[in-house]
C-alpha cells in the first residue's frame, strides 16, 4: 500500500490553515475602503460556510465572485448598521449626564439594544452569503434567529466580545493581538461561527432550494 502524503491529516490541516490565512488577508485588503467591509464579510462567510462542510473550491476565485455578487446588498446593510452603531454609541455616552436610577435603567435598556444590534450584525452577512433575500427580509431573518436560536446567539456574541476585550485589555495584549488579527483572527472567528451557523440555519431548511445561493466551483 502506498502512502499518499496528500491524504495525511497533518498536510490537510496545514492546507486548511493556509486557506484561512489567505482568506483573512483577502478580507483585510477588501475591507480597507471601510464601506466595503460588509461585502468583504459576506464573501468571507460565503467561502467559510462551504469550508466547514469541506466543500470549498478555489479560495481566491470564490471570494471575489461572492464579493461581487453580494456587493450592493452587503454594502447597504453595512452602512445601515454603521450609522445605527454610531447613533447608539453617542447616545450611550450621553447617559452619563442622567441621574443615578434613571441612568442605570437606561444603561440596561441600551445594553440590551446593543446586544440585539450586535446579534443582527453577526447574522446578516452569513444570511446574505447563503440566501437570496431583500435587505428588509435579511434584517427580519437576523432578528428572528437572534431570538429563536438564543443559545447560539449568546455563544457567538460572547466569542466576539471576549476576543475584542482580551485584545484591548492593555498595551501588551494589543501588541500581541494585532498580528494575530491581521494573520488569522477574523477568519478564525468566522470559521467558528460557521460551524455554529450550520445548526442555526436549520430553521430555514424548509425554504425552496432556489432561494439558496450555491457559489461553489464545479
Q: Which helix (H) or strand (E) holds 37?
A: helix 37-51
Mean pLDDT estimate for the chain: 87
Answer for the pair 117, 92: CB distance below 8 angstroms, yes or no: no
Burial 98-113 (b: 16+ CB within 10 A, else e): eeeeeeeeeeeeeeee
The percent of the chain in helix, strand and coil, each rounded to the nearest 5, is 85, 0, 15
Task: Tell me the per-residue pLDDT of 67-110, one tens digit each, with 9 for 90 and over.
Answer: 999 999 999 999 999 999 999 999 998 987 888 888 899 999 99
Torsion-angle region of 202 (φ positive above 0: left; ψ -120 to 50: alpha; else: beta): alpha
Q: Compute the distance between CA of residue 210 and CA of residue 25 in angstroms, rounded to an integer.
A: 32
At 212 the three-state DSSP class reads strand
Classify residue 206 by burial, with Cβ atoms within 10 Å: 0-12, 13-18, 19+.
Answer: exposed
- Spell out the domain ranges in the chain: 7-211
pLDDT tens string 151-195: 999 999 999 999 999 999 999 989 999 999 999 999 999 999 999
Task: Please give the DSSP secondary-structure letter assigned to residue 182.
Answer: I
Amino acid at each position: 500500500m502506498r502512502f499518499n502524503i496528500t491524504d495525511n491529516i497533518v498536510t490537510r490541516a496545514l492546507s486548511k490553515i493556509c486557506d484561512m490565512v489567505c482568506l483573512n488577508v483577502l478580507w483585510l485588503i477588501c475591507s480597507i475602503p471601510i464601506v466595503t467591509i460588509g461585502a468583504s464579510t459576506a464573501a468571507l462567510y460565503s467561502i467559510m460556510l462551504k469550508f466547514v462542510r469541506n466543500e470549498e473550491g478555489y479560495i481566491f476565485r470564490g471570494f471575489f465572485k461572492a464579493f461581487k455578487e453580494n456587493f450592493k446588498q452587503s454594502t447597504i446593510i453595512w452602512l445601515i448598521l454603521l450609522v445605527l452603531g454610531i447613533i447608539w454609541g453617542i447616545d450611550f455616552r450621553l447617559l452619563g449626564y442622567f441621574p443615578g436610577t434613571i441612568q442605570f435603567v437606561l444603561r440596561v435598556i441600551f445594553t440590551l439594544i446593543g446586544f440585539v444590534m450586535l446579534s443582527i450584525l453577526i447574522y446578516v452577512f452569513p444570511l446574505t452569503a447563503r440566501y437570496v433575500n431583500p435587505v428588509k427580509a435579511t434584517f427580519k431573518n437576523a432578528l428572528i434567529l437572534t431570538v429563536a436560536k438564543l443559545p447560539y446567539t449568546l455563544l457567538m456574541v460572547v466569542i466576539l466580545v471576549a476576543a475584542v476585550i482580551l485584545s484591548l485589555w492593555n498595551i501588551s495584549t494589543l501588541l500581541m493581538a494585532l498580528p494575530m488579527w491581521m494573520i488569522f483572527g477574523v477568519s478564525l472567528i468566522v470559521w467558528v461561527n460557521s460551524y455554529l451557523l450550520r445548526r442555526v440555519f436549520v430553521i430555514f431548511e424548509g425554504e425552496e432550494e432556489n432561494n439558496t445561493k450555491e457559489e461553489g466551483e464545479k
